[in-house]
Amino acid sequence: MKRKKWMEYVLMWVMVLAAVWLLFWYLEDNKKTGNLFRYSEESEEFRKMELSEAILDQMEELEEQTGYSLGEQIAVFLPVFRFRMVGNEQEMTQETLEKWDLFYTERKRERFLKLKESCCAIWDDLQCFPVENGEKKMTFENSWMFPRTYGGERGHEGTDLMPPKNLRDYYRIVSMTDGVVEQVGWLEKGGWRIGIRSEHGGYFYYAHLSSYAKEFQIGEKVEAGDLLGYMGDTGYGTEEDTKGKFDVHLHLGIYIQTERKEELSINPYWILRFLAKKAEA
């Protein structure tokens, strides 16, 4: 009799613990699903696009192992890590990648595919550092959303690549991706600019050029590495060819289209670091 009571007691506790464990896993999974909706491409976390070299190294290895592109991997890991990737890279394995890809695809397909589209637009066409042989020479810092005052107070929506010498018409700007010329010509803030739409839908914006490589037509195809023009200091004026209002540099912007926004800027800083490192290798 006594023995039976004791057995019941143990059984009860096993069941309680199992229930707690199941609940815990259920809530954990739901949190990770919830992250897909709590954050989005429009969130600050996403637009910072902070991916350290250590993370990207691991992702490139995973790309070889699994065939998942960088964009596809980022789409999976962003919601898993609450859109904060840095510091979480130890959990990035083939197993977690495949598990969560399946999980999101089955449970929240529509939202997940949109996120994946955005990640691939940013990451999957990148081939070249935008200044020819400039990966060691250019200096650039993470000036994402630093205040700018020309044309009203605003945040800096790009990265400025500063050359070693303040020389216009000298440094060669090349396309980072294959794509199509979508915009070309004068802009008050951007000066002589050119915008290339890449194959996965990212928009790569090169501003303040001193001159173009040729007379580009809208809709014209370009390949990664093609010369677009030369670095300059044009812009900050309504009159065409205004120059000299700041030092020679390339302003690089990356934009995507989302469900709600026609044009949403993404921080290019970590992407440029990634491309600079690739070019050096």
Binding mask 11-40 for Zn ion (x = CB under 5 A): ------------------------------
Cβ nearer to Zn ion, comparing 168 with 251 = 251
Say how many C-beta atoms besides its own lie within 10 A of residue 51's C-beta: 21
Residue type, 42: E
Cβ nearer to Zn ion, comparing 80 with 176 = 176
Cβ nearer to Zn ion, comparing 32 with 243 = 243
Report, in Å, the least distance between residue 88 CB and Zn ion: 30
Applying CB under 5 A, the span of 86-94, 177-185, 198-206, 251-259 interacting with Zn ion comes to 251-259
Angle CA(157)–CA(160)–CA(161) in degrees, nearest 5? 150
Applying CB under 5 A, the span of 14-22, 233-241, 250-258, 268-276 interacting with Zn ion comes to 250-258
Q: Which residue lies nearest Zn ion, judged by its C-beta?
A: 251
Distances (CA, A) of 122 to 48, 101, 115, 149, 266: 12, 19, 11, 27, 8
Which residues have C-beta within 8 Å of that of residue 24, sequence separation ≥ 6?
Answer: none
Of the CA atoms within 13 Å of residue 221, those in its CB half-sphere come to: 3
- Contact criterion met (CB below 8 Å) for 68 and 40: no
Q: Does 251 bind Zn ion (CB under 5 A)?
A: yes
Applying CB under 5 A, the span of 14-22, 99-107, 154-162, 255-263 interacting with Zn ion comes to 154-162
Question: What tokens appear for 269 in the block?
Answer: 């800083």
**Site for Zn ion (CB under 5 A): which residue of 124, 125, 135, 160?**
160
Cβ nearer to Zn ion, comparing 71 with 158 = 158
Q: Which helix (H) or strand (E) holds 5?
A: helix 2-38
Applying CB under 5 A, the span of 103-111, 123-131, 216-224, 244-252 interacting with Zn ion comes to 244-252
Cα–Cα distance for residue pair 96/106, rounded to 1 Å: 15
Q: Does 233 bind Zn ion (CB under 5 A)?
A: no
Q: Does 157 bind Zn ion (CB under 5 A)?
A: no
The count of residues in the chain is 281
Residues that bind Zn ion in the complex, under the rule CB under 5 A: 158, 160, 251
